[in-house]
Each structure stands twice: as structure tokens, then as C-alpha cells.
Amino acid sequence: MAANTEIESTSSGMAAYIVDRAKELWDEKKAPLLLSNISPELKLRGVDYKKVLSEGTTLRQFVATLDDLRIVVHPIQKAKIGVVPKDSPFTFEVEPTVKPTASTDERPRRIRQPNQRFVVMQFLAALSRLPPEDVKEVNIPVHVLARLMEDK
């Protein structure tokens, strides 16, 4: 069916257009006709599917009744719904989100250790929260603290 062809404002006219369009797209690109594109395409051809279908029937429900087609839904993007010929093997592909395991020749990554200065500052902050009588008992030579604060 030509892309600019007028279609009947009936359910059978819509059905014929959707089936033809899905098969055309499948033959040309091996891609589904997205359900979100059907309504604008119908409107361009003078058909408001909401006026043609019975009250409460969605476009998806209508397309599901067509014997020559099947509906495919993206496993993650639930709003991504396509229509393909019934005999097509199409499914939406999901890109893997997990990185492949590192090969054996790669060095394992070191766990990042906190900066030495940061550790000393955290230790001193913890000491400052002790009761005054306990702080009096702590005895750390200043040269040890100075040494710990040096960048290595």
C-alpha cells in the first residue's frame, strides 16, 4: 500500500492498512512498525482510530485481534511496542549492561586506599569525640603524626 494512499474510515480499512504497512516495513527494513507511529500515519490519511474503534478499545487491543500480525514489546522499555508479521522471528534486542569479564592477561585493579592524610584526620576527629579524661590518656608523639601526614 502506498504511503500516501487514502484509507477507509472503518475497522476493516484500518486493519488492511496496518497489516500492509507492517509487512512493508518488515520487508524493507526487517523492523517493526511501532505502535506509536500508527495513529499519526492514520491521521495523515484522514482516519481518527478513536472514532472508528468501539469506545474503550485501544489501538493495541485492536492490533492484537489482527490474525496476520503479532505484537512485540521491548523487555525493558515497556512503552516501545512494535507490530510485525506473525511469522517473523523478530524480538527487541537488549544491550548487555554488564561489562564482560576481564581477560586473564589484564592486571586486576587495586582497591583504592584512602589518602594517608585523610586517615590521620579521621583518627584525630575520632579522638576529639572522646571524653576529656580519655583524651588525656592518649599519648602520640608529634613526630609520628607529622610522619603520617607526609605524602608518599
pLDDT of residue 60: 93
pLDDT of residue 31: 92
pLDDT of residue 23: 95
The structure's pTM equals: 0.59
* Count of residues in the chain: 152
Opening angle at CA 117, ends 111 and 120, nearest 5: 100
Task: Name the grid cell of 150.
Answer: 607526609
**Which one-letter amino acid corresponds to residue 19?**
V
pLDDT of residue 148: 81
Q: Are 150 and 117 in contact (CB under 8 A)?
A: no
Please report, for the chain, the start and end positions of each structural domain, with discontinuous segments joined by +: 11-85, 116-149
pLDDT of residue 149: 80
pLDDT of residue 41: 93
Strand boundaries in the chain, DSSP class E: 33-34, 69-73, 81-85
Rounded to whole angstroms, the Cα distance separating 83 from 25 reads 10
| Grouped pLDDT means (10 residues each) for the chain, 152 residues | 71 93 94 94 91 90 93 90 92 72 64 78 87 88 83 65
pLDDT of residue 115: 80
